[in-house]
Every structure is written in C-alpha cells, then in structure tokens.
Amino acid sequence: MSTSTSIPSKMRAVQIMKQGGLDVLEDREAEVPKPGPNDVLLKVNKAGVNFIDTYQRSGLYKIEKFPYTLGQEAAGKVVAVGDAQKGKGLEVGDRAITYFGGGFAEYVSVPRARITKLPDAVNDTDAVASCVQGLTAWTLVRETYPVKKGDWVLVHAAAGGVGLLLCQMAKHLGAHVIGTTSSEEKAEEAKKNGAEHMINYAKENTVERVHQITNGNGVQAIFDGVGKDTWEDDFKMIARKGTIATFGNASGAVEPFAPLKLAAKNVKVARPTLVNYVYTQEEYEKTYAELFDLIAKGIVKFKIHGEYDLSAQGIRQAQEDITSRKTSGKLIVNVA
C-alpha cells in the first residue's frame, strides 16, 4: 500500500451510538480506518452538512451498525492508496472529494469508485458544496427531468443549498424558474441565482401564483425537497405530462399514494436518490467532470451559509440550523 508517513492510529470523530435526538451526537476518539486494496484513505479538511445526516441521526433512515460516523461528503488530501488502485488516477498527496459517508472525522476510508481527484480550480470548500447538493441538483435537471429551453420549472425552497443550485442550473439550460421561499430576503437571494419569479409562501397562495405566472398552464417540472407539506399542491401546479421530482423530506416524508392519482394529467413522479445516478465509478466521475466544468466556467457558484467546528456541539448546531429552514446556502464543517 502506498501511504503517507504520518498517519496516526487514533482520530477525532463525531459519531452516534444509537438513533434519536440531537443529544445522540457524541465526540469520540476512533480508530483511523485501514483502507483495503481497493480503497483510498482521505485526510479530511472540509466536510458538508446535509438533510440526510439528520435523517440518519433521527432514525428516518435506519442504521444497522454502531458506532456510526455521519457526514456524506468530505474533501481533503489522499494519504493512502490500496495496492489494487495504485497508478489508477489517485496518488498520495492528491486533493480529492468523496461522497460516501463518514465525513465527520479526521480520516475516512472510501472505495476508489466513490472518490475523485479535485482540479486546481476547485477549492475544498467549493468541492464540498458541489458534492451532495451539486451532484443532486445536476442529476435532477439532467436525468430526473432533462430541463430544456423554454420550460417552466418550480423549485421549492429555492434559497436552500440545493435550491440555489437548481435555480442556477435550470436558468443555464434555458428554463423559466419559479421559486418558493419564506422571506423577502431569501427571495432576493434566489433571484440573484437565476429565479425569474419568487413566491413567498408565508404571504401568498403558491398554487394561485404559479397559475397566474404560467397563464394557467402550470409547470413542466417541480423539484421538491420539502416533501409532505408541498406534495398535494404539486399536483395542482404541474402541467399535463409534467414531472414531479420529490427528492427530500424537509417537512416529513410523503405518504404512500394510489397510482391512479397520476392519471388526471398523465403526470410522472420520481423519487430519485443521488447514489443511483452515480453508482459506478464511470458515472460518478463523468457527472463530477460536468459539474467541475460548470464551476470552472463560473456558471455554478456556491453560497456558504455558515461554518461549524468538528465537535458534537458544532454538528448539533449545524443540524438544528439546517432543519430550521432558515438557512440559505451550504453548511460547512471545518475538520482540519
């Protein structure tokens, strides 16, 4: 195995020993993972906070084995490469980004298929911001519903981390973007990022406004990371033959529904997960290359809402902030 000479045996990590409230997050001393022949060991510099972390911590998504280290994405420096992966694109000393899990720790070992080299033009903070949220947004507008010029699309929570990126990307692809949010400040932020029309759902009727804006036609696609609270209204705003992409549960999970619900307008509903769009190394690196190109060209830019310490207290605050629905942009954990 190719390794750096300075890998310790112990590391700091924020882990859970069971699922539950914010109090289950613990500061722990953990063993530095030993990478297998097809793995890469990353010394983490920056990690990202996502809703999925809260789902895993709370029990919405079941965890089978404890202790469990949260944190889906991490950027840093490669310090060890498994023997079977030597000379295959990643070397000790390379900067890299991973979407695998275990990011709230000083070191993480990941399969080679789940880590990619960072170009010099992308710093670690932008890399983390581009990871789960960037890849999610890009696959939503390219695969879940391939956005095309002239489309009308609705982005719920348009000033959130994924929402801002969806606004930028959909506008880049030629769509008219309608966004929803809860404040005038957030509405202005979304407009700066490509939203053509904004609806303050705290003061306006979202369904009525969408039909006013689209002359009663509705929208070709709805990108919904909110979940339960917006689900029924989505069917009132979607155009005939439109696509509803429900990709998050910020307000709770969508209840099961009868397929006949889709028949009124020949609506398509998708519940995509990022991992199934970037399942293979080829898919992962191809999608990331497209995203890196958008970043390098200045088409996609990231807003950082806040930065947090690698500590149980820091992660508690980050999870409290992200679930409050008062954040705008990406939440970053400073590990190194």
267: helix, strand or coil: coil
Contact in structure between 164 and 148 (CB atoms under 8 Å): no
Claim: this prediction has a pTM higher than 0.95: no
Write the pLDDT tens digit of every residue in 30-44. 999 999 999 999 999
Contact in structure between 68 and 108 (CB atoms under 8 Å): no
Query: Could you say which architecture CATH assigns to the domain 10-132+302-334?
Result: Alpha-Beta Complex (3.90)
Cα distances (angstroms) measured from residue 109 to each of 43, 65, 138, 217:
9, 17, 26, 49
Contact in structure between 265 and 240 (CB atoms under 8 Å): yes
pLDDT at position 66: 98
Homologous superfamily of 145-271 = NAD(P)-binding Rossmann-like Domain (3.40.50.720)
Q: Where are the domains of the chain?
A: 10-132+302-334, 145-271
User: H or E element: which one contains 74?
Assistant: strand 73-81
pLDDT at position 207: 99
Joined together, the tokens standing for residue 202 give: 């705290």
298: exposed, middle or buried (C-beta count within 10 Å: 0-12, 13-18, 19+)?
exposed
> What is Dmax (Cα atoms) for the chain?
65
Stretches where the chain sits below pLDDT 50 are: none
Instruction: Return the closest-CA partner of residue 284 out of 271, 273, 275, 294.
Output: 275
Q: Round to whole Å and give the CA distance between 8 and 114.
A: 23
